[in-house]
């Protein structure tokens, strides 16, 4: 694809993507009435259609952090399917897929659709996005569904700016603060309590004062007096 064509396609995606992603995942409506034919990446297989697929990186050039896959998956069939995974062919980056609420797999309801990306929707996070994809490139993305199987397409890689900002990745988490050293609290109380009570108790119990006093009184005074009187 030439540069001019690529730029034209990228400009078109901003308008189409923002319109197609206004609603969160839902069911109960005919999926065919919700479809918008996009200028950006789209593919279909059986009853499943993937539209408005994009890979969105951090907003600032060279900024480190995760990237995300954003798309709308339509189910024109009468049975619900689960989106079992999203991968980047070629062994590139791990994609962590999570539903909008709770845990488990993302469900694409019968005659309904699910939006991936954006607040309140399911998410597909490329953990090491900065090292995996680059803005302006075209990235192959494979959507794996429970019954339909794999649907592969080529998605534009764009930064999370302008119309794409609400669907982009969150900033990389700040590094955790170092833990406070644990030496001070544990060292102070360990010496005093064990030495003092032990020495005091031993001295009081083993002292000579109580036993000497009782022994002298009983033996000296009473036995000498009677013996001197009897001699006179």
Q: If DSSP codes are grouped into helix, strand and coil, which group holds residue 47?
A: coil
Name residues whose C-beta falls within 8 Å of residue 191's C-beta, 6 or more positions apart in sequence.
none
Mean pLDDT of 175-196: 50
> What pLDDT, on a 0 to 100 scale, did the predictor assign at position 27?
43
- Residues 33 and 24: their CA atoms lie apart, in Å, by 16
Most confident of 26-30, 140-144, 223-227: 140-144
Is the pLDDT at 118 greater than 80? The verdict is yes
pLDDT of residue 183: 53
Per-residue b/e over 134-148, b at no fewer than 16 CB within 10 Å? ebeebbebebbbeeb
**Averaged confidence pLDDT in the chain:** 72
The tens digit of pLDDT for each residue in 162-175 reads 999 999 997 554 44
Token pair 């901003």: residue: 14
Helix ranges, 97-207 (H)? 129-132, 183-187, 192-206
Q: How many CB atoms sit inside 10 A of residue 22's CB? A: 8
Flag the least confident range among 10-24, 90-104, 136-150, 172-186.
Answer: 10-24
Q: pLDDT tens digits, residue range 30-89?
A: 444 444 545 679 999 999 999 999 999 998 877 788 999 999 999 999 999 999 999 998
Other beta carbons within 10 angstroms of residue 110's beta carbon come to 16
Give which of 33, 143, 51, 137 is closest to 88, Cα–Cα.
143
**Beta bridge pairs of residue 74:** 49, 113
Does 109 score more than 70 pLDDT?
yes
DSSP state of 88: B
CB 69 within 8 A of CB 54: yes
At CA 33, angle to CA 115 and CA 48, rounded to 5?
A: 55
Q: Quick one: pLDDT band at residue 182, thresholds 50, 70, 90?
A: low
């Amino acid at each position: 694809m030439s540069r001019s064509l690529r730029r034209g396609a990228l400009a078109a995606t901003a308008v189409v993507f923002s319109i197609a992603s206004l609603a969160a995942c839902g069911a109960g409506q005919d999926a065919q009435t919700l479809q918008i034919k996009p200028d950006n990446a789209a593919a279909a297989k059986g009853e499943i259609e993937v539209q408005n697929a994009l890979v969105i990186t951090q907003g600032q050039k060279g900024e480190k952090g995760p990237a995300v896959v954003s798309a709308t998956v339509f189910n024109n069939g009468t049975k619900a399917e689960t989106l079992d995974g999203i991968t980047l062919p070629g062994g590139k980056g791990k994609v962590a897929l999570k539903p909008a609420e709770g845990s488990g797999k993302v469900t694409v309801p019968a005659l309904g659709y699910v939006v991936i990306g954006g607040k309140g929707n399911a998410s597909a996070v490329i953990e090491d996005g900065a090292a995996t994809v680059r803005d302006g490139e075209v990235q192959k993305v494979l959507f794996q569904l429970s019954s339909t199987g794999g649907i592969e397409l080529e998605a534009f890689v764009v930064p999370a700016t302008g119309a794409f900002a609400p669907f982009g990745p969150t900033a990389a988490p700040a590094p955790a603060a170092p833990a406070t050293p644990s030496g001070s609290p544990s060292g102070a109380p360990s010496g005093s309590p064990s030495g003092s009570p032990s020495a005091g108790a031993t001295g009081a119990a083993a002292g000579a004062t109580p036993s000497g006093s009782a022994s002298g009184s009983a033996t000296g005074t009473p036995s000498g007096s009677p013996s001197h009187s009897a001699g006179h």
